[in-house]
Structure 1
């Protein structure tokens, strides 16, 4: 199959210029008593990084308004009115989500904790010299980073509203991951939009730490029953990181880049059929993740990166002596939400309730064996983590090792496992329609998370068309993405404005 990436990457680029006209904190609308909140055990597993989500709203030029799912949407307001409504409703929603008006500091033990001092969330008002249809939705490092999503400074939430030349608006939010996971961020965004539309909120977040308390009696006895040590490690036990390698003369430089694709629904169904075996039907997420793992392994396999004469070709990292640098194993992880696994009603719990299930396989097996074999292994390592006992054991494990901070072994690059490594997160449950602030639902939204580590990151979401397609944000090595586009062009299709308008 021919690569579709080149055509998407070679179109005329518009170098976006963004002018910030105002930056100010937005505090809660009601007075709040200052207090210090320790981060809970599962929060302590997250590094100090921010993740972003952004929404594109197209200007409605019809005088009578558009009809969206049978509901008449009023004409798109002026940008000043949009900013005023966003700020006013943000101040109201922060009353319930008061953690977003605080700051993270270190306590006396060296652990991060939150000062809830109502210092406010950052709000940035800006204008960009670009039309919505000119935005490069495929190369988001060019169009989004440093332009349409704000950076976190000392606060835990930053919001940016940007007016485009066409009158459309981009709303970008960046969250401190130590304070919120994607589920919590989605809950906040839905509540914020609800208040902006109607001045009421139907879901109150739960901040009860007792839901995630460790089992205080004889914590150590539980650690022998739950093999958390196989999945997590204290940072103090890790060797110092080696100095970064510089490409040698003649070697192709590789780098992690962000791209967004759409995957047609019929291609996902085909993957699901290939990943299923016998009476065991693989889920769409397992099928997609297994297929991506196979593609990543192929991108590092010499047999898939050489011509008929055995000479290396693009797709791997090539050195001047013609040897393709390869490793023997690859790791793939899937983020698991523990809310449905833990006892009690966790549906409105705010914070991090995540664990990373992951597996390690040889590159040759991943590249050569059928997709159903890979999917079987993925189901096995998911099954071991998606349990009440795992999450309770993980809470206990963190408690037993405090104040030492820890992280998933998925992100530890061992000498025997230096091959492709990436994590697939879960964004398929996010309802784009929930972020209608009163001027219609967004025509497009996505996450943006170039987190800076050596492992890649992939976030699939439902297409805004609701037709079974997926929108997939990827943060992977450029060579890996180029290989996937060439090898699986029917599945991974660069996202374009045309797709959003006509699919």
Structure 2
């Protein structure tokens, strides 16, 4: 057990911090679980998620008890990331456990005083840090009003948002004493490479990914990442519908949103110079593409690709939303096939153990000349199932301040269940300012909207 005191500064949120380790309720037979070829496309990035609960909030004791139960089927989350003989990451599963931090808000601190939309002010202190080798950590912060914030942090190399959502649902069900959800699958044969390998390389995989050894990162990438602004906006259901209508028939809400963001990005060209082009990427899940019959529905791991488009800023500014949405649709559909995902698995296999990266992070094939931004849909976020026995959260969001030069934007459903979206953004200060100043779509996240 580790105890730590925090406080003294006017911006401090927590004090009286205690950290323990929660192990699976049943012992785990020690073994090593390889990461899949698609897991290996992910760099060592940590992703956070947090839930805000009114009084009565779930207690730390109840959360820990349920966590121990949920970690039995989801045992990789209690493991450690280690290197194999080739230097690639893999999971050592021996039931190490999950670090669980209990914290109390500073004296007199009310949860409704948190300006959650201004992420950099407070949210950073409500999600836990994670030890380098561990897979997951949890923090519960109690407030004077009886409310609490439950924050989690997980290693993206081990699972994607879809997988972690499955775990969150199972954890909440365990807290409520409900029947366990179907067990997750760690069957790597779903993503096994072809034997023998195809005679010709996958052209689309070559377009979307590149070996890290071939990347010459622009010097400004680290500076752009450190200077990025983190915000949470809301988009009303009416604005979502209006965007989709403007994007034209047959276009999804996410395609319309991405097209709007792409044009906004073109009007807010970030430093170090007024870039002449903008790269927009979209994260695509491949479970249903590889197995339309739903065989991968319970698969735990990464099954992602990131198609992208690059277009001149002036051209983007002069196009209609419908024309931009058509372009987004074209390159998203091109990658959303089982053939592409099977080809991507083989593409990684042919280059192992050399790591690779998505070109969308780097501005496309131009090697970083274009200003880049990635959209990842969080519409499967299980905010309506995150009841740990005391009721649904008043608010919930992902938090992903990644150390890359590209922007990152993730829309997800509002906890109100009214069709509104909550949009987490990690973007250049210029793009954040453009979002704040535009007259439609991106609206400030007021405390009254979050806490009533």
**TM-score, structure 1 length as denominator?**
0.83
Q: Could you give the per-residue CA deviations for residues 325-352 of structure 1, whole angstroms, max 9, x where no partner exists?
A: 3121110011000011112511110000
C-alpha contact (below 8 Å) 1:222/1:396 kept by paired residues: no
SS at 1:299's partner residue? coil
Displaced runs of 4 or more, over 6 A: 243-247
1:340 to 288, 292, 296: 288
SS at 1:191's partner residue? helix
> Are residues 1:439 and 2:418 paired?
no
Distance 1:256 1:287, change over 3 A: same
What residue in structure 1 maps to residue 172 of structure 2? 193
The separation in 2 between residues aligned to 1:44 and 1:122, in whole angstroms, is: 25
> Are residues 1:379 and 2:329 paired?
yes
What residue in structure 2 maps to residue 235 of structure 1? 212
> Are residues 1:258 and 2:208 paired?
no
Structure 1 residue ranges without an equivalent (≥5)? 1-12, 61-75, 248-252, 301-315, 319-324
Shift of 1:317: 4.9
What residue in structure 2 maps to residue 151 of structure 1? 129
> Are residues 1:327 and 2:284 paired?
no
Q: Could you give the per-residue CA deviations for residues 239-288 of structure 1, whole angstroms, max 9, x where no partner exists?
A: 365377989xxxxx992011001111111111112111xxx331111001
> Are residues 1:139 and 2:118 paired?
yes
C-alpha contact (below 8 Å) 2:226/2:403 kept by paired residues: no
C-alpha contact (below 8 Å) 1:328/1:417 kept by paired residues: no
C-alpha contact (below 8 Å) 1:14/1:134 kept by paired residues: no
What residue in structure 2 maps to residue 313 of structure 1? none
> Are residues 1:392 and 2:342 paired?
yes
Shift of 1:464: 1.5
C-alpha contact (below 8 Å) 1:332/1:360 kept by paired residues: yes
Distance 1:234 1:213, change over 3 A: same
SS at 2:179's partner residue? coil
**TM-score, structure 2 length as denominator?**
0.93
The separation in 2 between residues aligned to 1:404 and 1:346, in whole angstroms, is: 27
1:71-470 alignment runs, 5 A limit: 82-129=59-106, 130-145=109-124, 147-153=125-131, 154-198=133-177, 200-217=179-196, 219-224=197-202, 226-239=203-216, 242=219, 255-276=227-248, 280-300=249-269, 317=271, 325-343=273-291, 345-413=295-363, 418-470=369-421
C-alpha contact (below 8 Å) 1:193/1:434 kept by paired residues: yes
> Are residues 1:500 and 2:450 paired?
yes
The separation in 2 between residues aligned to 1:420 and 1:137, in whole angstroms, is: 27
C-alpha contact (below 8 Å) 2:222/2:404 kept by paired residues: no
**Bigger Rg, which one:** 1
Q: State the number of aligned residues.
A: 438
Shift of 1:480: 1.2
Shift of 1:489: 2.9
SS at 1:491's partner residue? coil
